[in-house]
């Protein structure tokens, strides 16, 4: 018999009070940790230990964080976009999920690989030291999450411990808080489970690439399961003097406390060291004509590295009567450094190139705690799925920058384009304007969302989030302190019509904000602190159709407006005002799943029109095209299994031309690239895989950071992998 509403309300009230108490306690503990934990956390000191279980506790089969992943390229549902397990076709928002099977088939190892088949998202160079993606015309280095928790420091992420990747487009502040201006990317990690996992993979390839991964886990007993993912890689590059080394280990533990309570603990230590590669300059409006291997600057003097230590804990508790409580905690300690000797403009006669240098160090300690409560209620014939929650967080950041000086106390020198990698190594010290900052950001947020089912044909979703974001910013160069508080409201609303069960038509509206401290919390000034946060408004119409159980098609039309951009007052250059920034309009099409039992595919097409809507400076004028946003992109990956032993893959990627910057003075030409793969099942435990990238050795330019930092695309490359299960 259903519990009376008054009793349910009492249960919910008690749960909310308990959740708040748990959250505050976790935040206090995390704040202490953030102040005392060093940059390196020893695994032996943080590895969780199982507590004794009572024998009468029933066994637990599996604990999952977010996402419901099936074998193949298609998924049915996800929990990340709504905080509840919801069918993708019942989510009024464009979402692309890259499954583990697709990542394995394509031998994916980095963020640029992952987003190739995602409509509306392209990669940017990121100054050769970090992941940077452009969501519907909006560049971001911070809208990255793991298991729904913020992972916002600038570094290159690896996918050795990742089960799937969810690209959620449009503003997402209602779910994620500040940021999420054009979309977010959430990685779903591999977690401890009671099913046995014993996998080892080795790969070698072009440019002396060598990589090994391991995935080992299973049940300790009926109540405890362990899993360890590990990786090591050492590779060179087609670029002269460029190499990388990285390693990671990620143990997790699942604990079945009782039939209603489950705990999941995890720790990751990850290291990435490489050469920061800013690419090549431009000349006469196009990339400088040179061999793609040529390095401009000084590779040996351009090291970059990142160290990440992260601990996570998730507690799931079923309160009964359909009421569920989840508390998630993530503490992450980041240590990031990069140094680059990089190219600027080429001389008018093309004989020399300007070379400059700087380095930058960032240390950040993140502590976030999220408490989510979900429950359902009927009001007459209308069903409500409520999600409400609290997020508390603290981020402590230190940022220090030096300028590179060459002989004669020069901050730049001219190097011949005939030998552009011959630039001398500079010395580094602070200039008058280099950063030496310390900041502490605190966030307290609350949200409420209602998924409403009016009938089998009509559904809606409405939600509102309130953020209290405060940053204490200290300029240690002059001991100037700036304190800024933003209190944005982030709404979302969507309406879904289902003519029949497999087809959904939707309309949605959402709003997001980026605080004046910027996405990396480093751009707060006495001038900009007085202004409201930047605002991003998205309106979207879409269709989602499950053509058959294992094949889904999607389409979305959107308009995304960026406003509250600070510009100089046209009537008084000594003052600043807010202005509209840019407008992105587009169409996105997606197809994923199986055409037949043996034929899997993943396809995407995107049309994007992103322009500056109001003149912001001499370099950013109204009507200019937004940097690095192609008007057309198309991608299609196919895998066909010829028989039980043999399979083959073929992919094509097309991108139209892009502008390297909003100056629109340098154009990167469009290109079409083909990739392929062969798969051979030696026996039930051993698989041989060969991936061939850029089959026809097509010259192209992959990405840019500005007009004179352009990354050449990789020539033909082969990778051979051996995957063993035991």
- Model confidence over 620-634: pLDDT tens digits? 899 999 999 999 999
Percent of the chain with pLDDT strictly greater than 90? 83
Closest CA to 82 of 142, 8, 172: 172
Q: Residue 665 has what pLDDT? A: 95
Share the mean pLDDT of the chain: 90
Q: How far apart are CA 358 and CA 302, in angstroms?
A: 9
Q: Which of 41-45, 227-231, 277-281, 412-416 has the lowest mean pLDDT?
A: 41-45
Q: Which residue, 285, 137, 126, 124, is CA-closest to 664?
A: 285
Tell me the pLDDT tens digit for each residue of 245-300.
999 999 999 999 999 999 999 999 999 999 999 999 999 999 999 999 999 999 99
Distance in angstroms (rounded) separating the CA atoms of residues 169 and 504: 18
Helix (H, G, I), strand (E, B) or coil at 432: coil
pLDDT of residue 573: 64
What does the pLDDT look like over 548-576, one tens digit per residue? Answer: 999 999 999 999 999 998 777 676 666 67
- Closest to 421 in 3D by CA, of 501, 316, 341: 341
Q: Residues 560, 537: contact at Cβ < 8 Å?
A: yes
Sheet containing strand 138-140, strands side by side: 121-123, 133-135, 138-140
pLDDT in tens, 319-342: 999 999 999 999 999 999 999 999
- Domains of the chain from N-terminus onward: 5-725 (2.40.170.20)
Alpha helices in 514-659 (DSSP H): none
Model confidence at 39: pLDDT above 90: no
**pLDDT-based confidence at 56, cuts 50/70/90?**
very low
| Res. 61 pLDDT band, cuts 50 70 90 | very low
- Which pLDDT band holds residue 187 (cuts at 50, 70, 90)? very high
Q: Whole-model pTM above 0.85?
A: yes
Instruction: Classify 622 as helix, strand or coil.
Output: coil
The answer, yes or no, to whether residue 203 has pLDDT greater than 90, is: yes
154 vs 41, higher pLDDT = 154
CA–CA separation, 524 vs 65, rounded Å?
Answer: 35
Say what the pLDDT of residue 5 is.
42
Is the pLDDT reported for residue 160 higher than 60? Answer: yes
Say yes or no to pLDDT of 54 above 60. Answer: no
Helix (H, G, I), strand (E, B) or coil at 422: helix
**Looking at 67-76, 146-155, 528-537, 611-620, which range is the least confident one?**
67-76
414-462 tens-digit pLDDT: 999 999 999 999 999 999 999 999 999 999 999 999 999 999 999 999 9
479-512: buried (b, 16+ CB within 10 Å) or exposed (e) per residue?
A: eeebebebebebebbbbbebeeeeebbbbbbbbb
């Amino acid at each position: 018999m259903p519990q009376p509403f008054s009793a349910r309300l009492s249960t919910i009230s008690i749960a909310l009070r308990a959740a708040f108490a748990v959250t505050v306690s976790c935040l206090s503990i995390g704040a202490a940790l953030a102040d005392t934990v060093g940059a390196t956390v020893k695994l032996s000191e943080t590895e969780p230990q199982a507590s004794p279980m009572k024998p009468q506790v029933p066994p637990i089969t599996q604990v999952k964080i977010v996402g419901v992943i099936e074998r193949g390229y298609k998924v049915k549902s996800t929990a990340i976009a709504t905080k509840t397990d919801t069918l993708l076709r019942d989510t009024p928002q464009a979402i692309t999920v890259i499954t583990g099977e697709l990542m394995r088939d394509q031998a994916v190892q980095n963020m640029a690989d992952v987003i190739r088949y995602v409509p509306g998202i392209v990669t940017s160079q990121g100054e050769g030291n970090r992941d940077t993606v452009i969501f519907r015309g909006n560049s971001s280095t911070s809208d990255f999450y793991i298991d729904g928790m913020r992972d916002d420091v600038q570094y290159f992420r690896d996918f050795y411990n990742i089960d799937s990747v969810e690209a959620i487009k449009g503003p997402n502040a209602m779910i994620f808080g500040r940021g999420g201006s054009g979309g977010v990317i959430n990685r779903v990690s591999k977690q401890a489970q009671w099913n046995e996992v014993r996998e080892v993979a080795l790969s070698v390839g072009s440019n002396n690439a060598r990589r090994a991964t391991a995935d080992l886990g299973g049940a300790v007993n009926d109540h405890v399961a362990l899993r360890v993912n590990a990786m090591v890689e050492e590779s060179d590059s087609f670029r002269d003097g460029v190499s990388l080394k990285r390693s990671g280990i990620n143990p997790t533990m699942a604990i079945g406390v009782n039939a209603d309570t489950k705990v999941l603990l995890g720790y990751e230590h990850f290291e990435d060291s490489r050469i920061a590669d800013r690419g090549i300059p431009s000349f006469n409006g196009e990339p400088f004509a040179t061999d793609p291997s040529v390095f401009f600057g000084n590779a040996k003097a351009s090291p970059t590295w990142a160290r990440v230590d992260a601990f996570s804990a998730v507690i799931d508790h079923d309160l009964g009567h359909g009421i569920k409580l989840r508390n998630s905690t993530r503490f992450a300690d980041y240590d990031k450094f990069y140094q680059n000797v990089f190219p600027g403009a080429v001389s008018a006669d093309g004989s020399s190139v300007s070379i400059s240098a700087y380095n930058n160090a960032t240390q950040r300690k993140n502590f976030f705690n999220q408490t989510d409560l979900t429950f359902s209620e009927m009001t007459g014939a209308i069903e409500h799925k409520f999600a409400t929650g609290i997020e508390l967080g603290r981020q402590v950041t230190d940022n220090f920058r030096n300028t590179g000086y060459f002989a004669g106390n020069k901050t730049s020198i001219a190097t011949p384009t005939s030998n552009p990698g011959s630039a001398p190594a500079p010395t580094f010290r602070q200039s008058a304007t280099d950063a030496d900052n310390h900041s502490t950001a605190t966030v307290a947020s609350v949200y409420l969302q209602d998924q409403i089912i009016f009938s089998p044909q009509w559904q809606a979703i409405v939600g509102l989030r309130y953020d209290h974001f405060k940053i204490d910013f200290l300029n240690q160069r002059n001991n100037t302190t700036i304190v800024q508080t933003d209190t944005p409201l982030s709404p979302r609303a969507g309406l879904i019509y289902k003519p029949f069960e497999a087809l959904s038509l939707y309309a949605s509206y959402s709003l997001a904000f980026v605080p004046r401290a910027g996405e990396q919390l480093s751009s707060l000034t006495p001038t900009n602190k007085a202004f409201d946060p930047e605002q991003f408004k998205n309106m979207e119409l879409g269709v989602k159709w499950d053509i058959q159980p294992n094949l889904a098609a999607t389409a979305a039309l959107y308009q995304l407006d960026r406003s509250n951009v600070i510009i100089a007052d046209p009537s008084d250059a000594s003052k600043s005002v807010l202005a509209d920034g840019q407008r992105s309009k587009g169409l996105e099409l997606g197809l994923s799943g199986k055409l037949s039992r043996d034929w899997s595919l993943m396809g995407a097409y995107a049309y994007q029109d992103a322009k500056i809507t109001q003149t912001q400076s001499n370099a950013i004028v109204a009507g200019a095209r937004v940097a690095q946003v192609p008007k057309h992109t198309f991608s299609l990956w196919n895998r066909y299994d010829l028989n039980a032993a043999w399979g083959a893959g073929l992919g094509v990627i097309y991108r139209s031309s892009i502008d390297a910057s909003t100056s629109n003075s340098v154009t990167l030409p469009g290109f079409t690239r083909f990739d392929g793969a062969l798969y051979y099942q030696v026996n039930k435990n051993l698989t041989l895989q060969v991936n061939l990238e850029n089959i026809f050795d097509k010259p192209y330019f992959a990405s840019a950071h500005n007009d004179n930092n352009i990354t050449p695309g990789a020539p033909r490359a082969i990778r051979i992998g051996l995957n063993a299960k035991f």
